[in-house]
C-alpha cells in the first residue's frame, strides 16, 4: 500500500481494517489489467459486440441553427446496451472479477442505471448479484427495479439514513465487509476509496478516446468546449479523459436542483456549500453540516443526487483544469423538451444537465467553434420520472386507468 | 499512568476486563448519562463513547440506527464533547471516544485532540482511519498524550499487524470476525489461532470485540485476551429493558 490514490489533497483510502486485504487484492488486479494490453483489447472487443461501441457522434444540426453559435455535437452514450455509459465501467469490472475468480457481485444504485448494468453483466458472466438501492430511489425508479429482478439480481431496499444513493453505498460496504472472499463490489462511479476513482475513470475513458477521433473526423478540429453532467463524475471523467492534453475547455455540470441558494441541490463543486471531508472511504468536497454530518441533497435526476464527488474532479477544480457549473431542475426540463423537439434525441435527466450549460454558452461562440455534449444516458427508459417532470396529463390518466385495471383483477 | 499500564495493573486483580460502548445522545443525553452510571456501578473497566456520524460504514443495523436517532434527537459534536468531559469528571474509569474520521477532520484534528485531552479522555478509536492515512492524527494524538487505538482483523497479515502495532497505543482492538458490528460470532479453534497471531504481533493488551454478548462468551475469552468488548448487545438490552436493565446485564457477564 504505497500509492493510496491521491489527486492533490483528495482521494486516499479510508477503509476499515477488515477490508484492507480485499483492497490490496483489487489494486493488484487493477494494476495487472492496466499494464496488460490484452485486457484493454478484450474490453474494447466485448463492448463492440455487446454494447454498440464505438457509440456514434451525432451532429445536432437543428440545435446548432437554433442557437446560431457553435456547432453542437453529441456523444451518444445513450445507445449503449442498458441505455447509459454505466455499462462501460460495469463490463470492465466484470472482466476484472473473472480475473480475480470471484462469483458474486454487489452494487449500489441511485437512478437504477448502474444497478441494471450490473445485473446485466452478472447475468452474462454468470455471477450472482445483489443491488442496494435507497427506498426513495426505489420509488422514483421502480421500472429499473423490475428489470434488475428480471435479470436475476436481488434488489435490497435501503431504509437507513436519507434512503438515497449514499445510503445504498454504505449498505454495499456493509455487505462487502462480510462477504469479501467471494464478492466484488462494483462501485458505479469515480468515487470511493482507491483504486475506484482511478479505475472507473480509466474504464470510462473509452468515451473520450472515441469522441476525440470522431470529432476530429466530423469537424476537422478539436472541440472548443466539452460538457458532461457530474453525479459521482464517471461520465465526465470518461469524456474529459480524451482531451486532458489538448487545448480544450472542460465543463462539468452539477445538479442545481431548486437553485444554488435554495440548499435543495447537489452541487459540490459549482456551489460554495460543500466543504472538504472524509466519508465513504475517500476525501473530497461533501455537502455536509458544520459537524461533518452529511446533508440531504436534491435533484430531479436521481443519478446526480449525491453528497460527494470524484476526488479527481475535486482536484481538477482546484487546479482550474475543469470549470464547474450547475443546472436547475426547471432548466433541465426545458433543455430536454427542446432537444427532443429539435433533434429527436431523448437524453436522460442526468445528461440534460450538460445540455443546459452547452445551450447557455453556444450562442456566445462562433460557427468556427465546436462544442461536444455527452449524452450519458437515454431518457425514454425513465418515462415515469420524465412524465412527472413534464407533469404530463395524458400519462397520468393512463397510469390511473392502468391502476384501475390492476385493482379490478 | 499510561493506559496500557493501567490495564495491566487492573488485570492483576481481574482475569478479564470489560469495555462497554454507548452512542452518545441515544436515546437522549439524560439516558446516556444514566447508562454510564449503571455501567460503572456494574463494574465496567473502560468505556467507549461513540460520537454519532451520519455514515457509520463499519457499524451494523443496531448501532447505525442509534447513530441516526441520536442525530435526529439533536446530538452534536459539541454536546458529545461536553458529555465526555462530564462523565470523565464523575466516574473513575478510562473513557475513549469512538467515531469516524470525518468528525475529527471537520473539527480540525489538532483542535479535536486538544479538546479530548482537556476533557480527560484517554484515547480514541477511529475505524475508518488506517495508519497509512493517520499521519496528522498520530502527531496530534502524540502531542496531547492520547492513545490511538488501532484495529486488527482476522485477515490482517502478520507483517501488517506489526506495522499497525508500532503506531498503536493503549491496547489493540481485535475484531473477532468479518462483517459489521452486531452479528453472531462463533468462537472456534480458527479463532484461537487468530488470537495467537494478534498476541505475537504486539506487547500491548488485547481487546476483543464484535459479537461478544453473554457470560459464556466472556468465559471463553478469559485468559486469551485482556478486555472483552460488549457493544451492540448493551444497545439491545437498552432498547428492550430500558436503562434499568443495563446494570443487571453487565453484572451477569462476569
Ligand atoms: C445517465 C446517467 N448520467 C449520469 C449519471 C451520473 O453519474 P456519473 O457522474 O458517475 O457519470 C448517471 C447516474 O446514475 C446516469 O444514470
Average pLDDT of each block of 10 consecutive residues along chain B (254 residues)? 95 97 97 98 98 94 95 97 98 98 98 98 98 97 98 96 98 88 71 94 95 91 95 93 95 94
Instruction: Report how far residue B246's alpha carbon sits from residue B236's, in angstroms, rounded to the nearest whole number.
Output: 10
Identify all chain B residues contacting A291, using CB atoms and an 8 Å cutoff: 76-77, 103, 106-107
For residues A34 and A348, give the distance between their C-alpha atoms in angstroms, rounded to a whole number: 31
The predicted pLDDT at position A36 comes to 98
Is A17 in Cβ contact with B153 (below 8 Å)? yes
* Interface contact B133-A160, CB threshold 8 A: no
Residue A192 Cβ contacting ligand 1 at under 6 Å: no
| Burial status of residue A106 (CB atoms within 10 A of its CB: 0-12, 13-18, 19 or more) | buried
Q: How far is B41 from chain A (nearest CA, A)?
A: 32
**Full-model pTM:** 0.96
Closest by Cβ to A14, choosing from B76, B129, B152: B129
CA distance A187 to chain B (A): 15
d(C-alpha A345, C-alpha A260), whole Å: 28
Instruction: Work out the minimum CA distance from A177 to partner chain B, whole angstroms.
Output: 5
Residues of B in contact with A13 (CB under 8 A): 130, 132-133
- Residue whose C-alpha is closest to residue A381's, from A114, A138, A56, A144: A144
Can you read off the three cell numbers belonging to residue A169?
Answer: 453505498
The count of residues in chain B is: 254
User: What is the whole-number distance in angstroms between the Cα of residue A93 and the centre of ligand 1?
Assistant: 17
Burial of B115 (0-12, 13-18, 19+ CB in 10 A): buried
Contacts of A10 in chain B (CB under 8 A): none
Interchain CB contact of A278 with B (< 8 Å): yes
Residue of A nearest to B158 (CA): A21
pLDDT per residue as tens digits for the range A326-337? 999 999 999 999
Distance separating alpha carbons of residues B72 and A29, to the nearest angstrom: 42
pLDDT the model gives residue B200: 98
Q: Where in chain A is the domain with CATH 3.40.50.1100?
A: 3-48+86-200, 52-83+205-389
Q: For each of chain A's 409 residues, which pLDDT tens digit applies?
A: 446 899 999 999 999 999 999 999 999 999 999 999 999 999 999 999 999 999 999 999 999 999 999 999 999 999 999 999 999 999 999 999 999 999 999 999 988 999 999 999 999 999 999 999 999 999 888 999 999 999 999 999 999 888 989 999 999 999 999 999 999 999 999 999 999 999 999 999 999 999 999 999 999 999 999 999 999 999 999 999 999 999 999 999 999 999 999 999 999 999 999 999 999 999 999 999 999 999 999 999 989 999 999 999 999 999 999 999 999 999 999 999 999 999 999 999 999 999 999 999 999 999 999 999 999 999 998 788 889 989 999 999 999 999 999 998 8
CA B70 to CA B66: how far, in whole Å? 6
Q: Distance between CA atoms of A17 and B156, rounded to whole angstroms?
A: 7
Q: How far apart are CA A368 and CA B216, in angstroms?
A: 79
A232 CA from centroid of ligand 1 (Å): 7
> What CA–CA distance (Å, rounded) separates A330 from A314?
26
Question: Are B80 and B49 a contacting pair, CB within 8 Å?
Answer: yes
* Number of Cβ atoms within 10 Å of the Cβ of A156: 16
DSSP per-residue codes, B75-107? --HHHHHHHHHHHHHH--S-EEEE--HHHHHHH
Distances (CA, A) of A388 to A141, A264, A384, B89: 12, 18, 6, 57
Q: Which CATH class is domain B3-241?
A: alpha beta
Does the active-site annotation cover B59?
yes
Q: How far is the CA of B116 from the centre of ligand 1 (A)?
A: 42
Q: A288: which chain B residues are within 8 Å (Cβ-Cβ)? A: 102, 106
Q: Which CATH number applies to A3-48+86-200?
A: 3.40.50.1100
- Predicted confidence at residue B184, as pLDDT, reads 67
Beta carbons of B54 and A180 less than 8 Å apart: no
Asked if A172 and A185 count as a contact pair (C-beta separation under 8 A), the reply is: yes
Question: Which residue, A185, A182, A118, is CA-closest to A152?
Answer: A118
B132 touches chain A (CB under 8 A): yes
ipTM of the complex, rounded to two decimals: 0.95
**How many Å lie between the centroid of ligand 1 and the Cα of residue A299?**
12
Nearest atom in ligand 1 to A237's CA: 11
Ligand 1 in reach of A229 Cβ (< 6 A): yes
Number of A to B CB contacts under 8 A, please give it.
Answer: 108
Question: Is the C-beta atom of A234 inside 6 A of ligand 1?
Answer: yes
Ligand 1 centroid – CA A374 distance (Å): 11
Q: Is the CB of A353 under 6 A from ligand 1?
A: no
Which protein residue's CA is at the shortest distance from atom 14 of ligand 1?
A: A303
- Per-residue model confidence (pLDDT) at position B189: 74
Ligand 1 atom 7, closest CA: A231
Residue B66 and residue B23: Cα distance in Å, rounded?
7
User: C-alpha cell of A327?
Assistant: 443546472
Please state the atom number of ligand 1 nearest to the C-alpha of residue A110: 14
Catalytic residue among B9, B15, B31, B59: B59
A190 and A201 in contact (C-beta within 8 Å)?
yes
> Is B78 among the residues known to form the active site?
no
- How many angstroms is it from A216 CA to the middle of ligand 1? 26
Interface of A with B in 146-175 (CB under 8 A): 160-161, 166, 170, 173-174
CB A348 near ligand 1, within 6 Å: yes
Rounded to a whole number of angstroms, the distance from the CA of A312 to the nearest CA of chain B is 18
Measured between alpha carbons, how far is A155 from A129 in angstroms, rounded to an integer?
A: 9
Q: Do A14 and B71 touch (CB under 8 A)?
A: no
What is each CA distance from A91 to A77, A375, B65, B126, in whole angstroms? 14, 19, 35, 35
Rounded Cα–Cα distance for residues A407 and A312 (Å): 50
Considering only the beta carbons, identify the residue of B106, B164, B180 that sits closest to A178: B180
Q: Which residues of A touch B154 (CB under 8 A)?
A: 18
Nearest to A294 among B55, B60, B155 (CB): B55
Please answer whether residues A210 and A218 qualify as being in contact, where contact means their C-beta atoms are separated by less than 8 angstroms. no
Counting every residue written for chain A, the total comes to: 409
Q: Give the atom of ligand 1 at the shortest distance from the alpha carbon of A378.
A: 1
Is 3.90.180.10 the CATH number for A52-83+205-389? no
Which sign does the torsion angle of CA B178, B180, B183, B187 carry?
positive
pLDDT tens, residue by residue, A184-242: 999 999 999 999 999 999 999 999 999 999 999 999 999 999 999 999 999 999 999 99
State whether the beta carbon of A108 lies less than 6 angstroms from ligand 1: no
Q: How far is the CA of A396 from the centre of ligand 1 (A)?
A: 27
Q: Which residues of chain B have a CB within 8 Å of the CB of A166?
A: 55
> Is A172 touching ligand 1 by the criterion CB < 6 Å?
no
The residues pairing with B32 across neighbouring beta strands, listed in sequence order, are: none
Task: Quick: pLDDT tens for A30-79.
Answer: 999 999 999 999 999 999 999 999 999 999 999 999 999 999 999 999 99
- Residue A2, chain B, CB below 8 Å: the answer is no
Catalytic: which of A13, A234, A351, A376?
Answer: A376
Amino acid at each position: 500500500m504505497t500509492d493510496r490514490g491521491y489527486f492533490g489533497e483528495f482521494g486516499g483510502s479510508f477503509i476499515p481494517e477488515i477490508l484492507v486485504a480485499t483492497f490490496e487484492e483489487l489494486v493488484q488486479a487493477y494494476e495487472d489489467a492496466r499494464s496488460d494490453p490484452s485486457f484493454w483489447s478484450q474490453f474494447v472487443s466485448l463492448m463492440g459486440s455487446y454494447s454498440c461501441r464505438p457509440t456514434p457522434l451525432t451532429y445536432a444540426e437543428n440545435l446548432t441553427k437554433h442557437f446560431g453559435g457553435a456547432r453542437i455535437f453529441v456523444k451518444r452514450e445513450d445507445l449503449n446496451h442498458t441505455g447509459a455509459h454505466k455499462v462501460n465501467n460495469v463490463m470492465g469490472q466484470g472482466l476484472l472479477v473473472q480475473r480475480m475468480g470471484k462469483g458474486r457481485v454487489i452494487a449500489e444504485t441511485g437512478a437504477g442505471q448502474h444497478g441494471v448494468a450490473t445485473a446485466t453483466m452478472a447475468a452474462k458472466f454468470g455471477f450472482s448479484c445483489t443491488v442496494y438501492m435507497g427506498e426513495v430511489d426505489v420509488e422514483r425508479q421502480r421500472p429499473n427495479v423490475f428489470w434488475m429482478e428480471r435479470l436475476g439480481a436481488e434488489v435490497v431496499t435501503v431504509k437507513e439514513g436519507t434512503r438515497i444513493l449514499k445510503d445504498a453505498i454504505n449498505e454495499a460496504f456493509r455487505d462487502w465487509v462480510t462477504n469479501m472472499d467471494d464478492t466484488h463490489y462494483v462501485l458505479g462511479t469515480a468515487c470511493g476509496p482507491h483504486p475506484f476513482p482511478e479505475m472507473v475513470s480509466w474504464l470510462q475513458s473509452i468515451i473520450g478516446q472515441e469522441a476525440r477521433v470522431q470529432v476530429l473526423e466530423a469537424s476537422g478540429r478539436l472541440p472548443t468546449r466539452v460538457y458532461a453532467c457530474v453525479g459521482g463524475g464517471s461520465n465526465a471523467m470518461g469524456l474529459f479523459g480524451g482531451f486532458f492534453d489538448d487545448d480544450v475547455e472542460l465543463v462539468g455540470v452539477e445538479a442545481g436542483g431548486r437553485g444554488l441558494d435554495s440548499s435543495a441541490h447537489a452541487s459540490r463543486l459549482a456551489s460554495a456549500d460543500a466543504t472538504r471531508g472524509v466519508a465513504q472511504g475517500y476525501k473530497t468536497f461533501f455537502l455536509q453540516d458544520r459537524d461533518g454530518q452529511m446533508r440531504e441533497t436534491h435533484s430531479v435526476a436521481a443519478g446526480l443526487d449525491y453528497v460527494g464527488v470524484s476526488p479527481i474532479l475535486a482536484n481538477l477544480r482546484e487546479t482550474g483544469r475543469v470549470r464547474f457549473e450547475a443546472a436547475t431542475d426547471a432548466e433541465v426540463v426545458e433543455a430536454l423538451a427542446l432537444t427532443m423537439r429539435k433533434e429527436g434525441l431523448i437524453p436522460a435527466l442526468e445528461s440534460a444537465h450538460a445540455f443546459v450549460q452547452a445551450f447557455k454558452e453556444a450562442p456566445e461562440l462562433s460557427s468556427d467553434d465546436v462544442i461536444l455534449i455527452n449524452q450519458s444516458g437515454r431518457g425514454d427508459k425513465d418515462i415515469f420520472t420524465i412524465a412527472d417532470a413534464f407533469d404530463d396529463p395524458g400519462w397520468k390518466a393512463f397510469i390511473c386507468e392502468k391502476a384501475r385495471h390492476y385493482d379490478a383483477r | 499512568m499510561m493506559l496500557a499500564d493501567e490495564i495491566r495493573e487492573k488485570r492483576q486483580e481481574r482475569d478479564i476486563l470489560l469495555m462497554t460502548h454507548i452512542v452518545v445522545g441515544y436515546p437522549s443525553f439524560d439516558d446516556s448519562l444514566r447508562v454510564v452510571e449503571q455501567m460503572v456501578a456494574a463494574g465496567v473497566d473502560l468505556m467507549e463513547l461513540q460520537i454519532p456520524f451520519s455514515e457509520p460504514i463499519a457499524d451494523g443495523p443496531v448501532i447505525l440506527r442509534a447513530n441516526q436517532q441520536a442525530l435526529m434527537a439533536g446530538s452534536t459534536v459539541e454536546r458529545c464533547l461536553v458529555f465526555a468531559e462530564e462523565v470523565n469528571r464523575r466516574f473513575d474509569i478510562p473513557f475513549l471516544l469512538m467515531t469516524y474520521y470525518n468528525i475529527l477532520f471537520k473539527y480540525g484534528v489538532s483542535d479535536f485532540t486538544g479538546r479530548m485531552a482537556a476533557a480527560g479522555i484517554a484515547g480514541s478509536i477511529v475505524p475508518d482511519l488506517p495508519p497509512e492515512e493517520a499521519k496528522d492524527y498520530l502527531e496530534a494524538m502524540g502531542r496531547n498524550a492520547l492513545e490511538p487505538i488501532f484495529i486488527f482483523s482476522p485477515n490482517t497479515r502478520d507483517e501488517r499487524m506489526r506495522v499497525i502495532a508500532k503506531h498503536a497505543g493503549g491496547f489493540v482492538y481485535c475484531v473477532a470476525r468479518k462483517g459489521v458490528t452486531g452479528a453472531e460470532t462463533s468462537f472456534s479453534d480458527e479463532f484461537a489461532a487468530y488470537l495467537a497471531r494478534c498476541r505475537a504481533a504486539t506487547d500491548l493488551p488485547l481487546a476483543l470485540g464484535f459479537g461478544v454478548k453473554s457470560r459464556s462468551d466472556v468465559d471463553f475469552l478469559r485468559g486469551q485476551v485482556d478486555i472483552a468488548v460488549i457493544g451492540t448487545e448493551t444497545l439491545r438490552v437498552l432498547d428492550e429493558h430500558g436503562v434499568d436493565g443495563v446494570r443487571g446485564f453487565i453484572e451477569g457477564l462476569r
